[in-house]
Homo-oligomer: A and B are copies of this chain.
Amino acid sequence: METTKIGMVGLGTVGSGVAKLLLEHGDRIARQAGRRLELAEVVVRDVGKERDVLVPPGIVSTDLNRILNRTDIKTVVHLVGGLEPARTILLQLLEAGKDVITANKAVLAEHGPELFDRARELGRSIAFDASVGGGIPIITNISQCLSANHVESLTAILNGTSNFILTQMEEQEASYADAVREAQALGFAEADPTLDVDGSDAAQKLALLAHLAFGVRVHWKGIARQGIDKLDLVDLRFAQELGYRIKLLAVARQEGETLEMHVSPTLVKIGTPLAEVRGAFNAIRLVGDAVGPLLFHGLGAGQMPTASAVVADLIDTVVGRAAITFRTLELWSRRAVSLSEADHAHTTGRYYLRLTVEDRPGVMSEITGVLGRHKISIASVIQRESSDDSAASVPLVIITHTTTDGATRQALEEMNRLNAVRPGSVRMSIRD
Contact = CB atoms under 8 A, between A and B. Distances in A.
A148 interface: yes
A235 interface: no
A230 interface: no
Contacts of A319: 324-325, 328
Contact of A312 (B146, B150, B215, B327): B146
How many copies the complex holds: the figure is: 2
Contacts of A215: 31
Interface string A118-145: 0000000000010000011100110011
Interface stretch (A86-94, A242-250, A287-295, A365-373): A287-295
Given A145-B312, A308-B148, A295 B295 contact: yes
Contacts of A21: 148, 290
B298 A294 contact: yes
B148 A312 contact: yes
Contacts of A136: 294
A298 B305 contact: no
Contacts of A28: 150
B324 A320 contact: yes
A319 to B, nearest CB: 5
A297 B294 contact: yes
25 contacts: A21-B148, A21-B290, A25-B148, A29-B147, A34-B327, A34-B328, A34-B330, A135-B291, A135-B292, A136-B294, A144-B312, A144-B321, A146-B308, A147-B315, A148-B308, A148-B310, A148-B311, A148-B315, A276-B276, A289-B304, A290-B305, A290-B307, A291-B308, A294-B297, A295-B297
Leading 4 A-B pairs by shortest Cβ distance: A137-B145, A148-B311, A34-B328, A290-B308
Interface of A: 17, 21, 25, 28-29, 31-34, 129, 135-137, 140-141, 144-150, 215, 271-273, 276, 288-299, 302, 304-305, 307-312, 315-316, 319-321, 324-325, 327-330
